[in-house]
C-alpha cells in the first residue's frame, strides 16, 4: 500500500499512522501521529486516491528531520516488514463464506495479527454479504457465544457518523495497534428503520420526525449533526424483513476497527462459570468502548459477533483501509460496564427481559389446559416427553438436521442465542416471513443463564397463547419432523 506520492502522481512512500517510537525498523521520517517509510526503487505510477494520499512536499514541509531527501533512510518493499508490539500476536479466527454460513461450517485460520491486517488492508470490490470472520476461535465450527473458545481480536462498529480523523486520533492517543476500514455502506445517506421497533421503543404511532431523530441518536448512536435535516422518504416501505421507515440524512461515514488483544480472552479460563466469562467479555468490551467514546449496543458486545472482510460496491465507491501502528489492547485494564439488554421506555409491556421471555415461552404453560392438548394424532404424548427431555432438548440442532433449508432463517439479532425459523402456524399470521419466530437449544439457554430447557416462541399475534409444545405438535402432525426427532435428543447435548 503506497500512499505517499510526488506531485506527478508517483507513489514513493508509505504512510503509517500511529506511534513511531514502537516501530521496527525506524521510519525514514517521524511525524506527529504517524511516520513515513521511503521506498527505494521505481515509483509506482498513477496511484489511486486514498485518505493518506498526500504530496511528498507537504510532508517534507511539515515535520522533517532531514535537510534533504538524501539524508533519509530508504527501504525496498521487501525490507519493509514493519513490526510493532501489536502486530506480533498470533490470532486464530473463524471464517465463513457468508452471514448464512452453516453451524459447523466455520473454519479457523491462524496467522499473526500483521498477516491478518494485510488481508484487511486489501479492500475489494464485492457484495456486502460475503466472506466474514469472528473475533476468535470456536468449537466445532459453530457460530454462537456458547461455542466461542477464545477471542483473539476485538472488532468495533463505528457507525455513529464520527469522521475517520477523529477515530484515528482517539486510537492513536491510546497508543493502540488497529486496522480501520470502511464498510459497504460507507457514506450512505439513507437508512431503513424497522417500524415496529421504532414504534415500540419510542412509544410512537406515526413516523414523527423528532422521534425519529431521537431514535437514531439514542438507539443507534448517530451523531446529532447527521440527522439535523432528516427527511422521511417512505413511512411504510414493505421489505422482505418487514415494514421499514425509509429516511434520508447526511452521509454517514461507517468504519470497522479491529484491535489486537494482548492475551487471548479464553472463555473457559476466566475463573468463573462460562456464563460469567461471556458476561465479562461483554462488559469489558463495553468498558473499552466507553473509554474510547465509541457507541456500542447489545449486538456489538456478542462474543460471536460477525464482521465482513472489507468490500466496496465498485471502483467509484469511496473506500479505504488504514493501519495504525501501536501496542496490543489489554482488555483487563478496562473496567467492566454493565449493559442492559432491554432498554424499554415507559411502561413495560410483556416480559421485562429475555430471560423471563424465555421462561414464559419455555415452561410456564406446559402443563395447564386440556389434558389431550399435547397428544398428537398418532398418540405421541408431548407432555410426557417434555417432562423428561425438554430441559436437554437441542431443538435448533434437531431442526437443522431434520428440516434445514428455508425453514431456518437468520441467527437471532442482538447477540441472543438461537435462530429464527419459519412458524409452523405461519399461514395464520397476517404477514408471511419476517423474524418473529425463533428457537433456542436448551444448552444455549443454559449458557445464557436460563435453565428451563429449549425455547420455541412466536411473537405474532396469531400465536399468542401457544407454547413450545404447540409448535412441536404442529410440526409432528404436519410430518415436518417425526417422533424420532424429539426422542433421539434424550441426552444432554451440552458439555
Ligand atoms: Zn406464529
Q: Is 111 exposed, middle or buried (0-12, 13-18, 19+ CB in 10 A)?
A: middle
446 CA to middle of ligand 1, Å? Answer: 24
Write down the pLDDT at residue 491: 34
468 CA to middle of ligand 1, Å? Answer: 11
464 CA to middle of ligand 1, Å? Answer: 8
Domain end residue (candidates: 79, 109, 141): 79
- Output the pTM of the full model: 0.67
In a shared domain, residues 383 and 436: yes
Residue 12 pLDDT more than 80? no
Cell numbers representing residue 286 in the block = 463495553
**Residue 219: inside a domain, yes or no?**
yes
Mean per-residue pLDDT for 157-184?
Answer: 92
Highest mean pLDDT among 181-190, 274-283, 379-388 belongs to 181-190
489 CA to middle of ligand 1, Å? Answer: 24
In a shared domain, residues 176 and 261: yes
Name which residue leads in pLDDT, 205 or 264.
264
Write down the pLDDT at residue 432: 72
457 CA to middle of ligand 1, Å? Answer: 8
478 CA to middle of ligand 1, Å? Answer: 15
Write down the pLDDT at residue 80: 80
**Residue 346: inside a domain, yes or no?**
no
In a shared domain, residues 383 and 476: yes
Residue 54 pLDDT more than 80? no
Write down the pLDDT at residue 58: 60
Instruction: State which residues form the domain around 450.
Output: 354-488
354 CA to middle of ligand 1, Å? Answer: 18
In a shared domain, residues 311 and 366: no
203 CA to middle of ligand 1, Å? Answer: 24
**Residue 340: inside a domain, yes or no?**
no
Mean per-residue pLDDT for 423-439?
Answer: 82
Highest mean pLDDT among 83-87, 270-274, 363-367 belongs to 83-87
In a shared domain, residues 126 and 149: yes
| Residue 353, CA distances (Å) to 197, 356, 357, 439, 468 in order | 15, 6, 6, 16, 18
**Residue 342: inside a domain, yes or no?**
no
**Residue 494: inside a domain, yes or no?**
no
344 CA to middle of ligand 1, Å? Answer: 24
Write down the pLDDT at residue 6: 62
Write down the pLDDT at residue 45: 63
Quickly state the pLDDT bin for 133 (edges 50, 70, 90).
very high
Query: How many domains does one find in the chain?
Result: 4
Q: 282 with 339: CB under 8 angstroms?
A: yes
Percent of the chain surpassing pLDDT 70 = 83
434 CA to middle of ligand 1, Å? Answer: 10
Quickly state the pLDDT bin for 208 (edges 50, 70, 90).
very high
Write down the pLDDT at residue 88: 95
Highest mean pLDDT among 86-95, 446-455, 471-480 belongs to 86-95
In a shared domain, residues 113 and 232: no
Residue 98 pLDDT more than 70? yes
Write down the pLDDT at residue 3: 63
Mean per-residue pLDDT for 131-155?
Answer: 94
**Residue 189: inside a domain, yes or no?**
no
Write down the pLDDT at residue 180: 95
Q: What are phi and psi of 338, to 5 degrees?
A: -75, 140
407 CA to middle of ligand 1, Å? Answer: 13
- pLDDT, tens only, 335-361: 888 765 333 222 222 333 333 333 334
Domain end residue (candidates: 79, 99, 127): 79
Q: How far is it, in rounded angstroms, from Cα 217 to Cα 213?
A: 6
Q: How far is it, in rounded angstroms, from Cα 426 to Cα 411?
A: 19
**Residue 179: inside a domain, yes or no?**
yes
Residue 175 pLDDT more than 60? yes
Mean per-residue pLDDT for 446-464?
Answer: 87
199 CA to middle of ligand 1, Å? Answer: 21
In a shared domain, residues 117 and 172: yes
Q: 310 with 128: CB under 8 angstroms?
A: no
Query: If you average pLDDT over every residue of the chain, what do you get?
Result: 82
444 CA to middle of ligand 1, Å? Answer: 22
474 CA to middle of ligand 1, Å? Answer: 11
Residue 325 pLDDT more than 90? yes
Quickly state the pLDDT bin for 207 (edges 50, 70, 90).
very high
Least confident residue range of 42-56, 76-90, 305-319, 419-433: 42-56
Residue 259 pLDDT more than 90? yes
Name which residue leads in pLDDT, 247 or 391.
247
Q: 408 with 399: CB under 8 angstroms?
A: yes
In a shared domain, residues 365 and 265: no
**Residue 495: inside a domain, yes or no?**
no
Mean per-residue pLDDT for 371-375?
Answer: 76
Q: How far is it, in rounded angstroms, from Cα 88 to Cα 80?
A: 15
Amino acid at each position: 500500500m503506497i500512499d505517499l506520492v510526488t506531485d506527478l502522481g508517483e507513489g514513493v512512500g508509505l504512510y503509517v499512522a500511529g506511534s513511531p517510537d514502537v516501530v521496527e525498523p525506524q521510519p525514514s521520517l517521524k511525524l506527529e501521529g504517524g511516520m513515513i517509510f521511503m521506498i527505494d526503487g521505481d515509483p509506482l505510477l498513477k496511484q489511486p486516491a486514498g485518505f493518506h494520499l498526500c504530496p511528498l512536499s507537504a510532508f517534507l514541509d511539515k515535520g522533517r528531520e532531514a535537510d534533504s531527501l538524501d539524508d533519509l533512510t530508504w527501504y525496498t518493499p521487501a525490507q519493509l516488514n514493519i513490526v510493532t508490539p501489536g502486530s506480533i500476536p498470533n490470532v486464530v479466527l473463524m471464517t465463513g463464506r457468508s452471514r448464512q454460513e452453516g453451524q459447523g461450517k466455520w473454519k479457523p485460520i491462524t496467522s499473526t495479527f500483521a498477516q491478518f491486517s494485510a488481508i484487511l488492508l486489501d479492500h475489494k470490490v464485492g457484495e456486502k454479504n460475503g466472506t466474514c470472520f469472528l473475533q476468535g476461535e470456536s468449537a466445532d465450527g459453530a457460530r454462537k457465544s456458547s461455542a466461542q473458545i477464545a477471542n483473539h481480536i476485538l472488532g468495533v462498529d463505528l457507525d455513529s457518523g464520527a469522521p475517520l480523523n477523529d477515530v484515528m486520533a482517539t486510537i492513536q492517543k491510546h497508543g493502540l495497534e488497529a486496522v480501520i476500514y470502511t464498510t459497504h455502506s460507507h457514506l450512505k445517506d439513507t437508512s431503513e428503520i424497522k417500524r415496529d421497533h421504532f414504534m415500540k421503543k419510542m412509544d410512537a404511532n406515526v413516523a414523527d420526525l423528532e422521534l425519529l431523530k431521537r431514535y437514531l441518536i439514542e438507539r443507534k448512536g448517530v451523531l446529532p449533526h447527521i440527522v439535523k435535516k432528516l427527511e422521511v422518504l417512505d413511512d411504510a416501505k414493505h421489505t422482505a424483513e418487514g415494514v421499514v421507515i425509509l429516511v434520508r440524512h447526511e452521509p454517514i461515514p461507517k468504519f470497522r476497527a479491529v484491535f489486537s488483544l494482548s492475551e487471548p480472552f479464553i472463555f473457559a479460563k476466566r475463573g468463573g462459570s462460562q456464563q460469567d466469562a461471556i458476561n465479562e467479555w461483554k462488559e469489558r468490551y463495553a468498558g473499552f468502548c466507553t473509554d474510547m467514546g465509541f457507541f456500542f449496543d447489545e449486538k456489538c458486545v456478542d462474543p460471536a459477533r460477525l464482521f465482513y472482510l472489507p468490500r466496496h460496491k465498485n471502483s467509484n465507491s469511496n473506500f479505504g483501509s488504514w493501519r495504525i501502528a501501536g501496542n496490543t489492547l489489554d482488555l483487563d485494564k478496562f473496567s467492566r460496564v454493565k449493559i442492559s439488554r432491554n432498554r424499554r421506555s415507559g411502561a413495560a409491556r410483556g416480559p421485562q427481559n429475555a430471560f423471563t421471555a424465555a421462561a414464559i415461552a419455555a415452561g410456564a404453560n406446559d402443563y395447564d389446559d386440556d389434558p389431550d392438548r399435547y397428544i398428537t394424532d398418532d398418540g405421541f404424548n408431548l407432555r410426557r416427553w417434555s417432562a423428561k427431555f425438554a430441559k436437554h432438548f437441542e431443538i435448533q440442532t434437531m431442526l437443522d438436521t431434520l428440516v434445514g433449508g428455508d425453514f431456518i432463517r437468520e441467527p437471532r439479532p442482538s447477540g441472543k442465542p438461537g435462530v429464527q425459523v419459519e412458524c409452523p402456524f405461519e399461514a395464520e399470521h397476517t404477514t408471511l416471513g419476517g423474524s418473529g419466530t425463533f428457537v433456542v437449544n436448551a444448552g444455549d439457554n443454559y449458557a445464557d443463564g436460563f435453565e428451563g430447557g429449549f425455547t420455541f416462541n412466536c411473537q405474532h399475534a396469531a400465536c399468542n397463547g401457544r407454547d413450545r409444545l404447540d409448535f412441536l405438535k404442529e410440526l409432528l402432525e404436519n410430518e415436518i419432523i417425526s417422533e424420532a426427532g424429539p426422542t433421539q435428543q434424550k441426552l444432554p447435548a451440552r458439555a
